[in-house]
Structure 1
Amino acid sequence: MDDPQPAPNAAAAPADTPPRRRRVRHIARNAALVVLGLLFTIWLVLFVTKGRFLKHPFETIVGRLTHREVKVAGDFQLYFAPLQIKFAAQGLSIANPAWASRPYLFRADALDSRIAPLSLLFGRRRFYWLDLTNGAVDLEWLPDHSGNTWTFSAKKGGKPLQFPVIDRASVTGTRVRYLDPRLRLLADLAVDPIRSADARIGDAVGVTGQGRLRATPFTVAARLLSPNQTVARGANRLELTAHAGANVIDVTGTLPSLAAIEGVPLQTRARGRDLSQLLGIIGVAIPRTRTYRLKAQLVQQGRDYRFTHLSGTFGDSDVAGALTVTNGDRLYLTSTLATRQLDIVDAAPFIGYNPDIVAAKGAAAAAAATGAAPERLLPDAALPVATMRRFDADLKWTIRTVRSRRVPISDVDVTLALKDGRLARSPLSFAMARGNVAADVVFDTRQRPAADSYDIRLAPTPLGKLLAGWGVAEAGTTGVVKGRIQLAGRGDSVHDSLASARGRMAFVLPSGSMWARNAQLSELDIGVFVQKMFQRELKEPVRINCGLVGFTVRDGVAAADPILIDTTKNVVTGRGGFSFRNETVDLAIRADGKKFSLFSGQSPVSIGGTFAHPSLNVISPQLLARAGAGLGLAVVATPLAGILAFVDVGDAKAAACGPVLAGADARAQRTTKGKPREDVGNGTPAKSGDGGETKAQRKKFLGIF
């Protein structure tokens, strides 16, 4: 019987595995040697030939990738030296897209560089060495910022400009042109020669040039410096000074690279003759100011330019806060400001005055400078209608105190909104003489001419504090005044809007007292007035029961409706009015005694002239007539008879205070016995002038009784 065959040994099956592995490793080694040999051959060929034969393929391939025409007019080199990429070209040019205003994005007489190979594939481009001679860079945005010249893409979209990291550089004769149609900014800059090593610029690099921002030309001088301690590769200290008109702007900061501006805090300082000229450069209209000095931190993020930690002065006033300018489809300005002390002269521009002229020559001269007629006080400066329609704004401004010689004003709170040409100062509030004023003022330039409205409310305010600058003593004065002005008109200036205004003005005096330091004109009793002039003090204050000074305004003419003040001794009434059109005043005020007075002129006092130069005439025709009658009686009779011409029998009808305190018009006024009053102005304007009453009414009122 045959012996059985031995079973195959399973463990011996892979006996040939080590030779197989050796064959695989041998193949891999040979392949690697072939690849290395091929790479070495390519390196050697490039090194020997300097890659000059790649000139035309380089122009074609790079042109296709960038969608631009790329040309090298002179020598060309592209090879590894030994592991860095050596790239050199003479007469290199890269075209701009067809929409650009200049044909070339980049041109240079000569460029020599060493490039980190992996940086072409990953991360930021890095140059170990860059030598650039007579380079010219043209950077331009599309008007809608959907593309720019340095973003190499067939699709829309513009990336921010980013320079490569450069370890060592030698740059001479370089110019940079930058155009942004949305900002309306054009800058043409020349870069001084650059020498740098290890991401540090040994000497300051200067940049000088000129340009135009909107319609304003400017010059700029800047320096790029290495900081004393380099905090990041390529970080440079920027110092820039720009001159635009009468304005000087200084900017300093540390840039992570030459073009890295976005998100970088920059310290800015600005000074000049008029802040409105500075903001006018970017198309923002504000009232003009006196000489200003401001500083702030600027951070640009996308379309927003944020100025924070803002502080400084304009004229004799201070300001602090924050401001943001958004450069979108419409320029948008938003700000929150605070002022500790505002000089009243610096507030003049808010109603159209030039503050420099106000400070030097007064309000009348400032009004004349706006085009107002001689002897006018209201400014005739037109609103910048075209500019107001180009930008929007929101402003909140608080002012602690206003420095004024006559009227104490504090705690001002202004909210301003400009939207599509509609300017609203609403609400506007402030404290005046321990009282409060609230106002809403609107100029709507969307209607032509502008539709303007004024709504001003005065809360109860102490007369002693309010009129302290006009001779009223605070001590002993307990009277208060409250009131409201509601007017609406059409016009592009304060004067025009008021000259066409219609509405009502009313100021109410509740019960109280008033003590005058200089002259007791409110009582208008000549005996008391003469006593006041010589003794310079009164024995007691004027006791007011109630009072109303009201005017009805039609087509810019205000007529008394009514003027009625009831005191313990007299009833003060008035007729006439004033005109916003020609700024004339024509008022007659008289006081009829309630009690018998042996020596009383009680003659109407005439207030005339203009807003700029009002006149007060105490010696009226009625008083002269009484004086003549008294003199005649003294001659033909006795001296005692002469006094009879000045006797007041005291028949004045006391006023019912209800309609007075309600601010009602003249038709609603009554005596204490309920009878209608016929001795007050009824709001009827003059037919032959702007004085507010007809000649017949004035003659009756001023006539001798």
Structure 2
Amino acid sequence: MATSPPPDASAATPRHRGWRIARNVALGVLATIVAVWLVLYITKGRFLKRPFESIAARLTQRQVSVGGDFQLYFAPWRIKFYAERLRIANPAWATQPYLFAADRIDSRIAPLSLLWGKRRFHSLDLTNGAVDLEWDAGHRHNSWTFGEPQKGGKPLDLPRIDRATVAGTTVRYRDPRMRLLADLRIDTIRSTGARIGDAVGVNGGGQLRDTPFTVAARLLSPDATVARGRNELVLRARAAGNVIDVAGTLPSIAAIENVPLAVRARGRNMADLLGVIGVAIPNTRAYRLRAQLVQSGQEYRFTRMAGTFGDSDVAGRLTVTNGERLHLDSRLETKRLDIVDAAPFIGYNPDIVATSGAVAAAAATGAAPQRILPDAALPVATMQRFDADLTWRIGALQSRRLPISDIDLTLALDRGRLALSPLTFAMARGNVAADAVFDTRQRPSAVRYDIRLAPTPMGRLLAGYGVAEAGTSGTIRGRIQLSGRGDTIHDSLATSNGRIAFVMPAGTLWTRNVELSELDIGTFVQKMFENELKEPVTINCGLVAFTVRGGVAATDPILIDTTKNVILGRGGFSFRTEAVDLAIRADSKRFSLFSGQSPVGIAGSFADPGLRVISPQLLARAGAGLGLAVVATPVAGLLAFIDPGDAKAAQCGPVLGARTAAAQRTDKGEPRKDVGDGRTVETAPKRKKFLGIF
């Protein structure tokens, strides 16, 4: 029977030798570790103080120093790091010398967390610590990001801390781009076993864009941090008369980004609130707002926003982007906007409007006495520091006299150029579309207004002023195009040039309105006794137009043709002084007895216009009639009040086309000589003044 050969001893020896070598190396490494551990444990690693400063300085590219005792060793399996008067320098551009300084730091660090970059502290005992966190002027680098400068600044990433004892610690934060400086004090935290306590407090204040503020915050469930659970944060800040409350649940003490926070704000003026971050909006009355805030990088998104300002409501969303230029993007909705709350949009203080009226509000802006155009200057410097996009839908404007609803406003602010385009709304079953541009990049600001009124029923439009709709079927449409220079509404209009025109196509109007304007006494009295005051009068066509030169508007023309008469107007008004001097007269197309046939004067100012029913021309005619009665017979005196009925009807083509006075014609095609030349005494050659001013 054959036998197998014995194993090759020479082949087995290297294998056993390899195992022995590996075992010996492992034992040697273990012995070395034990020896190092033992040396460190016995010496507490104090001899590593200078190597630690050198290595830390090389890794961070900052000066690192320990001014007192130093310990670095395993105790027994966690790394103990202890240092007295530890200092870590700031970069050269920072305003403070040290990023971090503490009288004493005593910590236990999980070794494996350092390998994975997680930096977990099992415990931290910090005494009189001071942290200085800064961004550079270009917002490219920060003081807490170590390494090469070209890497740029990274978000702040604090280590995980299971248990902490903190006393006398402060945090300073500076962001030149936001113009923010905050100095905060952390209340003393003392652990009991694994429990931190009921709350951790942070108090302090600072300055945001030249506005001082105070802040008080509490972490209501800090023990949850031990288990990496839910941390309830509440914070209250006060600035410029505003109170801001923030509440939310954080995954850890330092985790703010992408965490939904509930925000509430209240104050006397929303303009003061946004003024804190350098954003200019019109003044408001007292407001209350709530929203959900989520911060993501440079964006601060306010969603589910709802609240009130004055007697009006508002809802929507707002995104604030703190980039190279501050940018606001907002979508708002309002169900009901009180007209007093709308007053700030043209420069009025709403509180003054509510208590004292528009004239007092205009005076508060610097306007002359008895003026209503505000003289409040645009915040030019602020408008050039931030950009904005806004859409705002308003259901109805709450007003006794202005039937306005369905307002849609689109606003764009780009480096000082503010455009309201378009602004649309419904008024008296008609629609208005407007565009306005305020270009503050030109000095003074270049301003353009373009307001278009779609065909609108006059009865509904004038109903708020006591005119009944019954018997009035006429409509009106128009356009206002003006351009001027100035940093206030008053200045932009006082220097404006352009045209204002309102056209009335064929329709009907109360007879009473026509007769009162012409003072046709005979016909008016006759109809009054016949109870025919609401008998409609047919309007063939009508035009009320003004040419504006240098802020002075002259009739160009006022011409209304009806079946019975032709209504003409002369004069104008001034945006400079807000003076009004108009004369309206009606020439009858038929013979009428007792016709005053003299102009009705509209004079005074925008704030206080007056109706002069008995004009100087009428008084002069009355004097002539009295003279005739004396030298002839009483019947002859009546001749001065007889209207022969020779008014020339208008050709409606130029009227409906809103043409100037020079283009107007009679129904026979002849040029009209009774509609003026579209100039006032300020813009025309020297001539006798019309009604004292024009």
Structure 1 residue 643 displacement after superposition:
4.1
For residues 226 and 194 of structure 1, the distance between their equivalents in structure 2, rounded to whole angstroms, comes to: 13
Q: Is the 8 A contact 1:519 1:529 kept in 2?
A: no
Query: Which of 234, 241, 252 is the equivalent residue of 1:239?
Result: 234
The question of 1:381 aligning with 2:373 is answered: no
Aligned-partner residue type, residue 535 of structure 2 = E
Q: Is the 8 A contact 2:199 2:222 kept in 1?
A: no
Q: Which SS does the other structure have where 1:685 is aligned? A: coil
Query: Which of 544, 556, 559 is the equivalent residue of 1:549?
Result: 544
Q: Which residue is equivalent to 1:648? A: 643
Matches within 5 A, 1:483-494: 483-494=478-489
Query: Which of 38, 43, 52 is the equivalent residue of 2:37?
Result: 43
The question of 1:696 aligning with 2:691 is answered: no
Q: Which residue is equivalent to 1:88? A: 82
Query: Which of 173, 182, 188 is the equivalent residue of 1:178?
Result: 173
Aligned-partner residue type, residue 121 of structure 1 = L
Q: Which residue is equivalent to 2:108? A: 114
Aligned-partner residue type, residue 696 of structure 1 = K
Structure 1 residue 694 displacement after superposition:
6.2
Identity of counterpart residues, as a percentage? 71
Query: Which of 66, 74, 84 is the equivalent residue of 1:72?
Result: 66
Q: Is the 8 A contact 2:511 2:534 kept in 1?
A: no
Structure 1 residue 234 displacement after superposition:
5.7
The question of 1:136 aligning with 2:130 is answered: yes
Matches within 5 A, 1:353-502: 353-502=348-497
Change (3 A) 1:349 1:699: closer
Q: Which residue is equivalent to 1:151? A: 145
Query: Which of 601, 619, 627 is the equivalent residue of 2:614?
Result: 619
For residues 474 and 332 of structure 2, the distance between their equivalents in structure 1, rounded to whole angstroms, comes to: 36
Structure 1 residue 580 displacement after superposition:
0.7
Q: Is the 8 A contact 1:169 1:197 kept in 2?
A: no
Q: Which residue is equivalent to 2:281? A: 286
Q: Which residue is equivalent to 1:590? A: 585
Q: Which SS does the other structure have where 1:473 is aligned? A: coil
Matches within 5 A, 1:630-669: 630=625, 642-669=637-664
Q: How high is the TM-score relative to the length of structure 2?
A: 0.94
Change (3 A) 1:479 1:519: closer
Aligned-partner residue type, residue 579 of structure 1 = S
Aligned-partner residue type, residue 690 of structure 2 = R
Q: Which SS does the other structure have where 1:264 is aligned? A: coil
Q: Which SS does the other structure have where 2:690 is aligned? A: helix
For residues 655 and 481 of structure 1, the distance between their equivalents in structure 2, rounded to whole angstroms, comes to: 18
Unaligned runs of 5+ in 2: none
Structure 1 residue 525 displacement after superposition:
2.5
Q: Which residue is equivalent to 2:595? A: 600
Q: Is the 8 A contact 2:125 2:165 kept in 1?
A: yes
For residues 534 and 57 of structure 1, the distance between their equivalents in structure 2, rounded to whole angstroms, comes to: 115
For residues 533 and 99 of structure 1, the distance between their equivalents in structure 2, rounded to whole angstroms, comes to: 89
Q: Which SS does the other structure have where 1:485 is aligned? A: strand
Structure 1 residue 353 displacement after superposition:
1.4
Change (3 A) 1:379 1:669: same
Q: Which SS does the other structure have where 1:194 is aligned? A: coil
Q: Which SS does the other structure have where 2:42 is aligned? A: helix
Q: Which residue is equivalent to 1:59? A: 53
Q: Which region of structure 1 is more displaced relative to structure 2, 410-419 or 197-206?
A: 197-206
Q: Which region of structure 1 is more displaced relative to structure 2, 527-536 or 117-126?
A: 527-536
For residues 199 and 320 of structure 1, the distance between their equivalents in structure 2, rounded to whole angstroms, comes to: 45
Structure 1 residue 451 displacement after superposition:
1.3
For residues 342 and 435 of structure 1, the distance between their equivalents in structure 2, rounded to whole angstroms, comes to: 19
For residues 527 and 598 of structure 1, the distance between their equivalents in structure 2, rounded to whole angstroms, comes to: 5
The question of 1:304 aligning with 2:299 is answered: yes
For residues 531 and 345 of structure 2, the distance between their equivalents in structure 1, rounded to whole angstroms, comes to: 39
Aligned length: 693
Q: Which region of structure 1 is more displaced relative to structure 2, 20-29 or 105-114?
A: 20-29
Query: Which of 18, 39, 46 is the equivalent residue of 1:24?
Result: 18
Structure 1 residue 604 displacement after superposition:
0.7
Q: Is the 8 A contact 2:338 2:399 kept in 1?
A: yes
For residues 73 and 680 of structure 1, the distance between their equivalents in structure 2, rounded to whole angstroms, comes to: 95
Change (3 A) 1:37 1:337: same
The question of 1:213 aligning with 2:211 is answered: no
Q: How high is the TM-score relative to the length of structure 1?
A: 0.93
For residues 444 and 411 of structure 1, the distance between their equivalents in structure 2, rounded to whole angstroms, comes to: 27
Q: Which residue is equivalent to 1:97? A: 91
- CA deviations on 1:395-450 (whole Å, 9 max, x unpaired) are 11111111111111111111111112211111111111111111111111221111
Q: Which residue is equivalent to 1:252? A: 247
Q: Which SS does the other structure have where 1:82 is aligned? A: coil
For residues 227 and 513 of structure 2, the distance between their equivalents in structure 1, rounded to whole angstroms, comes to: 74
Q: Is the 8 A contact 2:233 2:248 kept in 1?
A: yes
Q: Which residue is equivalent to 2:553? A: 558
Q: Which region of structure 1 is more displaced relative to structure 2, 537-546 or 469-478?
A: 537-546
Aligned-partner residue type, residue 73 of structure 2 = Y
Q: Which region of structure 1 is more displaced relative to structure 2, 557-566 or 286-295?
A: 286-295
For residues 93 and 470 of structure 1, the distance between their equivalents in structure 2, rounded to whole angstroms, comes to: 77
